[in-house]
Chains A and B, each alone.
Chain A
């Protein structure tokens, strides 16, 4: 399966400043020829580079609205995070009406599917308590991070489809039945808070093919939605069918609340994730936790890069909004969901496999040799992790060198040392005057000065031992 990277780098904006390479949690970016390059196979679409770049060079990708014209009947699947984008000025019912008015024939709330998925997760954990802790799988960046960096934890990923996939299935069922339209003419479009979801739709990790036909960035519809909301008649609203628990999936902790897990841990932010997953992989994490709600973005989905509202404000808004919705299902609904769960309706169709692309070479002996070489190279590098070579750390530069992607002189300190020794050699040659010539004192003095300059070491390296071969 081709891994899709939904962050595109706009070279016209990139100044090669190296901010992004040092921020990337998977070390997926290098600067080459003055421009950042993203290695798509290492990118988990976490959006950290988008957040840190002062020039807005990494551009998160989503579908454009034109994709809607490919389908006769268009259904919007709004993420719960969308309800947190307009402060509490509008009710969720009004927001739903505005979404429909933007150009959709129908709206199916992802929160409604989240209600179903919550029950499914609860049942699954009850059935498989011993094999826990189970890691939530609805955040694609988390799943990709585990595939890439924590291959032994792929088996801990909850094999339950994400709410948006269930929403698309349900929406198509409903529309086919009610509006009597052939399935292939129905298009379901996720109004997504982040580019990681775009990637998960184009190359799904639980399915062969996604049920979702496209993903539009919430931010791309934001202005239009605001205009529609302002023009909306007071009474005009479309009833929200999700419960408050489904809507709470938009923020960190919401999923846990909806799943009603007894022993849980919630965690947001990709760097926090890196630390905790490291602990779990070392079996250091023996706290009897059954459910780990992991979100790549701080604050959960309301912190996604495609949202407009400040994530902290959005969390408050969402909490206030959920308080106004019922927290319980209609009678009998939960039993129906359990029945679907037992029939396997929510089950992942394929296993999440680890990506084995961290290794330096396919051949293990060769890889060992390469690691040994890179350790040797590392000893010569200054250890400043300055990024001026275009690799995020000295260690990654050493690995890039043995992979053949960089050379030792990419390090400006190594380069300087080489220039210095060359200058010394040249000068010592230049000072050798044929016996028959009269030495010109002035020239001698200048040469000495140049030699002194070449010997000066930049301050960060001042205490560095001169390089010695083993």
Chain B
């Protein structure tokens, strides 16, 4: 098991490196210039050249990439071009907002999706099943920027709940207000994620319930409760766990829409700023961190498999 994990980690490092290479290449291909973006339309070409020199952007791309990579190996993600701040500080601050949203949204999604999915699977074809499926469909097709805005109008403007419409100035200095600012974003992301998960849980449970060993379990007179909880769910959980791991990683970036609506300075909006400002090192840093999360989540999921399914072993 340990050697398996180590091998996977080594592979992960290569994956991460390839990801940075890919992103760097892509950024070279798209037009745009960070210095001009900072200076705006009134600046002269001489102004732009001077800023490029100050930011070190006049060096050849390969040299810039290698010096960045060297920094990363020494644990230094470098300086953001736009913010002139250490990238690691920027990312840590943003993760401190986005991670709570993602974790809480996934928890909310799981708490909604698992019971509803099981319920719908057990009563497949019933009105309950239909209602759950319809609700899930709605949650998937409604865009989250619209849902988020509607939540603001329903909960804050009409119902006058004491929630902020955007992340408070001062951030976590005022923890209650900051937490309150995350309620609606979590609800928005969580419900969307639940809509996606509930279909998966339903499908997975339904498939397992049609397996031979379930029929056998029922045939030998086990109660439906034991059949469901002891035999079916454990097996049905496998694909759900896989997707949850991937969903976690994708939400890190997918929150960008919600972050825009709710004015949240999270990782998603940071990556958006970084790309539109052509802040190459910042984009690289964000990609590296997100790729690391994806790789780690995949690894965690694989290892969890071993616990959930005794047939899986790591040699």
User: Do chains A and B interact in one complex?
Assistant: no
- Show the binding face of B for A, using Cβ within 8 Å: none
Residues of A that sit less than 8 Å from B by CB:
none
